[in-house]
Structure formats: structure tokens, C-alpha cells
Amino acid sequence: MTYFQREAMIWNQLQHQNIVPLIAFIPSYKSSVFPALISEYFENGDIRKYLRMKRPVTIRKKYELLLDVLRGLEYLHGSLDPATGKRFVHRDIKGGNILVNNDERALITDFGNAKFIGDDSNFISSLRYSLNWTPPEYLIDPQKFHHGYRTFGDMWSYGCTVIEVLLEKDPWEDLKEDVEDTIKYGILTQPEALQDAQYDGCWPLIAQCITKEPTNRITATTAIAIIQSMMGANETR
């Protein structure tokens, strides 16, 4: 099975309002040696493009988009592959892999790094990762990226994506220290921009996603309840 066939196999099983649907898989596209995975085109593009196009985007709307991502993750982490009975992980959650459709709903896309939880096969889906969104356990021991992954890694990446969406820039880009070493061994503190009153409650959510001990990270289901509570609190102000 090729890299693209595996991606298509996983992607095609996922049917949810916050997952971009796969329309078709073409083994050889035109003159290219690479296949094509066809999905719907959204003019809003990825979430970063959407935020640039629609500025200023309210905090509430950003929360709504972040909730969409969580609902997609909750579905992904709870879905079972009928052949193996195993659940899925995405392993590359970031703004570039979140599209916004015409109804301004966020959907997860790009399943090139997705795998089944507990799949110990030697199939390596990708050697690439997005540093600023990558959990420390993958950086410290790259073998865990290929064989030791769990839903905890996606939740770390989600916490980084919260920063990305709220501040509309890459997470940790303002670090004065080396980003990789800080993620691996340092202490990640609240970005100064998130200390603004409009972001009250955001850092505790993020902090629960980016704890260094993977098993201490919250689940997508818990994060949904936290954001819903934050949205309710903002409405009463």
C-alpha cells in the first residue's frame, strides 16, 4: 500500500460535519507520477487565510471555529476502523490543515500523517512534522511519532492551534530561546498577547493541552465543555 493509498483509505472512512469529505482518489493524475486526492474547494481557504480575509474576527467567532475543530477531533479519536477496531489520530493538527467552508464552519483536512492508534506496522506515513505544533515526546523520541502516538499528541497540537487562531500567528514564534529545545525541555509560558482581558480563560485551556506529561492532557470532549463554558461566561459580561 502506498502513502497516498493509505491516506485515502483512512480519509474515506471519516464522515463528519467537521471533517473535509474525500470525494475521489485518482491513482495517476494527468502526467504526474503522483495520485490526486480530490476534496471540495472552499474559497475561504484554511483558517489563517479566513482570519486574514475577515478581519477583524470576533473572539466568539474564533471560539466557534475552535469548537468545530474539537468536534472533528472528538469524532476522529472515537471512530473505529471496521477492519481493525482501532481508533484514529491525525498527527498534524494546525491552522494549515483546518479549512473554513462557505458556512464559516471549520473542518479538519490532510490525513497524510493519520494512523490507527496502536498500529505498530513499519509503514512510515511521513517524516515531516510542523515544529511549532509538535508535542515534545515526538521531538525527544522520533520513534514515538511513528509507533508511540496516541490522542494526547493531537491535543498538544490543538492547544498550539488555539494560540495560532487567537493571535493569528504561529504559536511560540516570539520565543527568544530555541523553539525545539524549549518544547522538548523548557517551560512554555503564556504569551504576553494572551494576557489581554479579552482572552480570559484561554490560557488554562491551552495549559491543559500542552502539559509535558501526555497522559495529563485533556481530551477533546473535556476541551469542548471548557470552551462552551468560556463562551457562556463571555455572554454574561
Place of cell 500567528: 169
What is the phi/psi pair of residue 100, to 5°? Answer: -120, 120
Does residue 52 form part of some domain? Answer: yes
Residue 202 domain boundaries: 43-114+128-235
Q: Return the CATH number at 157.
A: 1.10.510.10
Q: b/e per residue, 19-49, with b = 16+ CB within 10 A?
A: bbebeebeeeeeeeeebebeeeebebebbbb
Residues 6+ apart with CB under 8 A from 85: none
Helices 151-167, 59-78: crossing angle, 10 deg rounding: 170
Does residue 85 form part of some domain? Answer: yes
Residues 6+ apart with CB under 8 A from 205: 159, 162, 223, 226, 227, 230
Does residue 119 form part of some domain? Answer: no
- Residue 177: what pLDDT? 86
Does residue 17 form part of some domain? Answer: no
Whole-model pTM: value is: 0.91
From first to last of its 237 residues, the chain has per-residue pLDDT tens of 577 788 888 899 899 999 999 999 887 766 566 778 889 999 999 999 999 999 999 999 999 999 999 999 999 999 877 777 778 999 999 999 999 999 999 999 999 888 887 665 555 555 467 999 999 999 998 776 666 568 999 999 999 999 999 999 999 999 988 999 999 999 999 999 999 988 988 999 999 999 999 999 999 999 999 999 998 876 655
Domain count, the chain: 1
Region for residue 55 given its phi and psi (left: phi exceeds 0; alpha: psi -120 to 50; beta: otherwise): beta
What's the 3-state SS for the chain?
A: CCHHHHHHHHHHCCCCCCECCEEEEECCCCCCCCCEEEECCCCCCEHHHHHHHCCCCCHHHHHHHHHHHHHHHHHHHHCECCCCCCEEECCCCCHHHEEECCCCCEEECCCCCCEECCCCCCCCCCCCCCHHHCCHHHHHCHHHHHHCCCHHHHHHHHHHHHHHHHHCCCCCCCCCCCHHHHHHHCCCCCCHHHHCHHHCCHHHHHHHHCCCCHHHCCCHHHHHHHHHHHHHHHHCC
Does residue 13 form part of some domain? Answer: no
List residues bridging with 109 in a β-sheet: none
